[in-house]
Structure 1
């Protein structure tokens, strides 16, 4: 492992100065949830070592989205400036103590003005930015299935084609390269805090505890205070599960159902329950990246590693890992999608999750349907109206 700072007199990685406000900006799919869960679980022990975790939840997502002027996930309540202000006030209340704030959505800050505003509100020259990175080739399948969980209808290989071959590489998800063009991400934050107040951690998937130990060192915490917290809700979907959801997204959008219904019944109902209650089997088909895309991602990773190394930021870990191309372990996505079959148990759990979510809380709709006879109404709209009526009956029961 190569380390370029912060270092103590022996050359080993050392703690940040007391009073630092450590801002972990992700980006997505780089171990953020594991770190946030461990910090949140240890939040009552941290003050003993002069460290505060000011957020009231594991992940202050709404605050970060508001700070970066980004929209909420499909169908969720829009974040407001109040979310951001409350987090800032809690950070300010930590006074001279060290504090740590973590949200991968801070990586969505797309311009210098937004980045500078975030840094200024969180303490200016007290802010030290932590960026965690993994190889693009490993991030791509995880990020695609996450986009599908937010309503994406495009298949994996088609999505890869758009992200890697079709300039300006912004459709259908402009957020992908804003987050994962890691060299530009680091450069944006350098312009706000300078290279001396940025630490880049290259996550080694072979060293599962390495990221936790790095956070402990930077925060001056004793070894093994931060421990992994089991979180089945954060697991990635298998290819079959993702394809089931993607096809549901096609039907959902095709029938014009409201976004609030998707948030409540699909993402936070069906998908959440399926992930919590059903673990993938060893023979489940994983999402597999075709060779051409993995090689392209490796080339981009090599270029990013070189540019990050030239910035002078602190690097923990081996930058060469960013160019890594994982070995293929299964059929190509097109063939795999045809062969992948979702287990009846998983499908039943997903359906139950949707029904339970419908029965637990109402879904409010803002658009009223016009009065027409059945013969004057399209089949798609009939499906939509029927779905709304079923939900009303479930809520009454």
Structure 2
């Protein structure tokens, strides 16, 4: 069984949306919505002073970019009456805790203390405007969990406003797949697309995908709890690199250009070759029965983290390509989601027709990925550096068999458990 970032038992309602995809020709029917989108291109009115703006993502919609910009500008925002109460750029642990979700493979499970710390910080802002952002709030499994989040932040005072950022599914799918691979997924991209788009109930190997990215149902869930008048959807236009930052400034009543992009190599997407290298490593890791905690320490936070920091993709590096059939299916789903979101009555900023746009040319998914030796070396060094941070000492010799008499599979398993034991001690 493949490993998901988070676990959900709510795939059934999302599956209905995939089965109901219309023919891609019907995408043209959403042209009527373009007038609404054009009308929203004017600057949106700021939210009332004292609003607690809750940005819930979902994943792969510019969340890291906005979180970095908000955190970097928190002192400047405070001078304009807007607080960023989280103690870090991304209060992921707090969001996972309140949603009762386990988090990333091998990481320590968040506790209620993480959520309480964030809630206390939000309430400490008093009557000033505040903003909290985590894409993991979109993973709230049901209305009860959403109510718990909103109540904690101050629903009884009528101050919570939910912000949802959306991008086209065709843009999200490759980014989300490589992120799942970074959390242990072993399935190739085209096979994964087949499962997500063509194999009912569309929940394997990652049930969280449609819970996050059936965007109409996401908006409906949160609208049921806070009311549609307290939900704003921002459609991200990838052609306008700073458009999302400007939308946040306008909603928060901040001066223009106060929020600036913050470079973040750690969050960059992997190339196709890097992702395939990691995916094959995941196969070896799981087949040898190594513990999840070792994966977190040595692979995700060791090899992958160092590779991202040390290596920037070159122009000739192959990106993850989505086949034409999947792009067309995604556009059809996007058209249906656009209609349902518009019907909810929530405020939409940007052009909703972008969510169902079909690229003029399909990506070439037939390219064979080749990883540069330098990139592979940096990944290997990252794993070694993570292991060296907790050196293995006084390793006892094998009692019954020498190393040469032990199978490589069994040897890797033994060494992995020993390394993990030393890491835990440290």
TM-score, L = length of structure 1: 0.91
* Contact 2:294 2:416 (C-alpha < 8 Å) held by counterparts: no
Question: 2:143 is matched with which residue?
Answer: 112
Q: Structure 1 residues 315, 153: CA separation in 2 closer, same or farther (over 3 Å shift)?
A: same
Question: 2:92 is matched with which residue?
Answer: 61
* Contact 2:67 2:89 (C-alpha < 8 Å) held by counterparts: yes
CA distance in 1, matches of 2:161, 2:341: 17
* Higher relative contact order, structure no. (Cα contacts within 8 Å, ≥ 6 residues apart): 2
Q: Which of 283, 287, 297 is the equivalent residue of 1:254?
A: 287
Question: 2:111 is matched with which residue?
Answer: 80
CA distance in 2, matches of 1:293, 1:12: 34
Question: 1:215 is matched with which residue?
Answer: 248
* Contact 2:245 2:260 (C-alpha < 8 Å) held by counterparts: yes
**Structure 2 alignment gaps of length 5 or more:** 1-33, 393-397
Q: Does 1:348 align with 2:377?
A: yes
CA distance in 2, matches of 1:278, 1:247: 20
Superposition deviation, residue 390 in structure 1? 6.5
Question: 1:140 is matched with which residue?
Answer: 173
CA distance in 2, matches of 1:158, 1:28: 21
TM-align CA RMSD: 2.5
Q: Does 1:103 align with 2:97?
A: no
Q: Which of 404, 410, 415 is the equivalent residue of 1:386?
A: 415
Q: Structure 1 residues 199, 371: CA separation in 2 closer, same or farther (over 3 Å shift)?
A: farther
Q: Which of 346, 358, 366 is the equivalent residue of 2:387?
A: 358
The alignment of Structure 1 onto Structure 2 pairs a total of residues equal to 383
Question: 1:41 is matched with which residue?
Answer: 72
* Contact 1:74 1:259 (C-alpha < 8 Å) held by counterparts: yes
Q: Which of 198, 202, 206 is the equivalent residue of 1:165?
A: 198
Q: Which of 347, 367, 371 is the equivalent residue of 1:314?
A: 347
CA distance in 2, matches of 1:271, 1:43: 29
* Contact 1:59 1:103 (C-alpha < 8 Å) held by counterparts: yes
Report SS of the residue matched to 2:344: coil
**Structure 1 alignment gaps of length 5 or more:** 364-369
CA distance in 2, matches of 1:346, 1:194: 49
Q: Any residues of structure 2 matched to 1:157-196 within 5 Å, and which?
A: 157-196=190-229
Q: Which of 302, 305, 310 is the equivalent residue of 1:277?
A: 310
* Contact 1:3 1:316 (C-alpha < 8 Å) held by counterparts: no
Report SS of the residue matched to 1:354: helix
CA distance in 2, matches of 1:48, 1:3: 35
Question: 2:6 is matched with which residue?
Answer: none
Question: 2:81 is matched with which residue?
Answer: 50
Superposition deviation, residue 387 in structure 1? 4.0
* Contact 2:322 2:362 (C-alpha < 8 Å) held by counterparts: no
Question: 1:156 is matched with which residue?
Answer: 189
* Contact 1:198 1:314 (C-alpha < 8 Å) held by counterparts: yes
Superposition deviation, residue 326 in structure 1? 3.3
Q: Structure 1 residues 329, 360: CA separation in 2 closer, same or farther (over 3 Å shift)?
A: farther
Superposition deviation, residue 376 in structure 1? 9.6
CA distance in 1, matches of 2:38, 2:46: 10
Question: 2:395 is matched with which residue?
Answer: none
Report SS of the residue matched to 2:348: strand
Superposition deviation, residue 391 in structure 1? 7.4
Q: Structure 1 residues 248, 316: CA separation in 2 closer, same or farther (over 3 Å shift)?
A: same
CA distance in 1, matches of 2:62, 2:35: 20
Superposition deviation, residue 381 in structure 1? 2.1
Superposition deviation, residue 288 in structure 1? 0.5
Question: 2:4 is matched with which residue?
Answer: none
Q: Structure 1 residues 16, 253: CA separation in 2 closer, same or farther (over 3 Å shift)?
A: same
TM-score, L = length of structure 2: 0.85
Q: Does 1:20 align with 2:20?
A: no
Q: Structure 1 residues 260, 322: CA separation in 2 closer, same or farther (over 3 Å shift)?
A: same
Report SS of the residue matched to 1:100: strand
* Contact 1:88 1:121 (C-alpha < 8 Å) held by counterparts: yes
* CA deviation vs aligned residue, 1:171-221 (integer Å, no higher than 9, x gap): 100000000000000000001111100000000000111100110011111
CA distance in 2, matches of 1:393, 1:82: 27
Superposition deviation, residue 47 in structure 1? 1.3
